[in-house]
Structure 1
Amino acid sequence: MKEYKEVIQFIQELYQTKEFLPLHEPRFIGNEKKYVNETIDSTFVSSVGKYVTEFEEMVAAFVGAKYAVATSNGTSALHIGLKLVGVDESCEVITQPLTFIATANAISYCNAKPIFVDVDRETLGLSPSKLKAFLEEFAVLNAAGECINKSTNKIIKACVPMHTFGHPCKIDEIVEICDSYNIAVVEDAAESLGSYYKDKHTGGFGKVGIFSFNGNKIITTGGGGMIVTDDEALAKEAKHITTTAKVPDPYEYIHDEVGYNYRLTNLAAALGVAQMENLELFIKKQRELADKYDEFFKNTDIEFIKEPKDAKSNYWLNAVILKDKKHRDAFLKQTNDNGVMTRSVWRLMNKLEMFKDAQCGDLSNAKWLEDRVVNISSSVVL
């Protein structure tokens, strides 16, 4: 398909408009204004209030986690998730190069170094086979049971796989490999609320999982994140250090460690509670939209990215694969010039200035995808 007019026309017909179409905009169709107004009337608009607790309980119940701790955004959730498993300046953390910058940034916040291991083309997420190959070549367990990188002599403390665009990676295999090397899995499920792998919700496979509620996610709190875990001690520590590590006292301000002002506000949580009430509808509509895209692109030379085997995706961001970088760039230009917003996948993390010296495995799949993947209109169609 040398020209992409049919694609533009199809997307405009899906959304019944020829006005500018953003990539993913939120939908507010329920109790958002009611709950936010209640919060304003109560004057409890900061990080103390009933909606923070209610939002945590709703997300925990939905994803099947024992505990959930709300944070100011997904990046802060990931930062704290890494700290909970002991990541610090003495450590390295394995993650994928094809990811949003927050994944690598959170590792840097801990003064740790990222290691980039390739993704699978099918899932767009961390490749178990590439992970296994990397560890077999570079990792060894010391007498204390710590995983040591033979090339740097640093501890490989954690692994952060990411469920790209809401499509689950082969997370069970990744956890199994990491367990054999005593590497903690911090699951970046920022994009995958409502996605399942082998009938289990994402975010629940690792020691800690995190979600994001940014303005462009399947549900939003404007900005917000969530740490989920089944470990009671980790959950308590997460709540403590995200609340400036303040020790309860009726009069004095006492803090027992370096903490962070990372708690979600009651105002934002009110929005989240209302959004959670419509999450099932949003997922249903996103999957219907994906089916329409899939059917349309079957008749073109563009490949629509579908949920991987054994996965049920929320299809947060729909994506296609073009023939090569030249076709990708032509597609990006023509769609955006005609008011249909599209975006290339992220530039690989190891190509960014601050991570250019990071250790990498063979990244052939990530490089191939970087040249070809484009996100297309993904707002919920009601």
Structure 2
Amino acid sequence: MVRDARRGGRLEELASEFGMVERALGDPAALADGREYARLTRRHRELLPLVTLHREREAVLSDLEGARELLADADMRELAAGEVETLTHRLTEIDAELEVLLLPTDPDDAKDVILELRAGAGGAEAGLFVVDLLRMYTRYAEGLGLKLGVLDASESDLGGASKVVAEVTGDFAFRAFKWERGVHRVQRVPATESQGRIHTSTVTVAVLPEAEQGEVGLDLSEVRIDVFRSQGAGGQGVNTTDSAVRAVYRAGTSDEIVVVCQDGRSQIKNREKALLVLTSRLAERERAAREEQERQTRASQVGTGERSEKIRTYNYPQNRVTDHRLEGEVKNFALETVMAGGLAPVVAALARDERERQLLEMGGADGGGQYGAA
């Protein structure tokens, strides 16, 4: 079949690339180039699951051929028939897994993340939920072996925060957090509510893949750097030096972007982080502009089909989290588990939904689909 031939050819290409990447990782020249070594390591991690599955498929095919030959032996026929059934079932599973792994992937998946949480409607209660979400994300990151560090936070009433900017670093941080972008709605009785009435508040979450060097041209002549004394919770000695940094891009214009970083004690480190966040925001602005143009073009052809801005509701009275991008019972999750950092089932459900839609779109495009890079 054309589809099988296309997949086989693509698998061979990726297996060959994997071999080249492995050889390159052993080259002293790659070790000496930090950026190139990081790129090779990231690509190795991306290809490893696919190549491992491809090798297993080759082994299963070989075993299956041997088992089928034994069907001609009367003494071995029953045993061979069971082996053929088992191997055929595993081959079907492998092909299904490979079909998913060969789908086009997000080129930003392996990047680190700038995470921004901002209180929306709901006043002090929204600020409290910012802190709750930050705690949830911290536990989620820890469970995945990722590191979440707060770069800047603006405190609000009752111990909440009107805004938090954090950095998440580690393997495939963006893939783990990209589903969190959007408006998160919480429904619960605030601690200050004497009548026991349920209030609805919102928090906006932005997830920005960290821009790579050279991805966005940042003209430092358009950036004003201010240094000031750190404020708020930031560890011992936070208010003893003028180490906090504010980076303002194109101040006073419609393009203005303001970034504050006061987490580190070193002014140099805070400056580096502020410029990193600024560059990532510029990259996100460019991506958003491209996507909006594509959306408008698509809408003019097929109409809009966009989902609600609200992506998730946290309903405390019903102990339920509902992700509105999913359908049926699969969209509901136990609130206590999610708030304790158990976001993995939610992310897995969203990823499955995305892959199913990709498969449908690819299947409808040419009857067999084009297989993308892993």
Quick check: TM above 0.5? no
* TM-score range for the pair, normalised by the shorter chain length: under 0.3
Higher RCO (C-alpha 8 Å, min separation 6): 1
Q: Relative to total residues, which structure has the larger helix share, 1 or 2? A: 2
Whose Rg is larger? 2
TM-score where L is the length of structure 1:
0.24
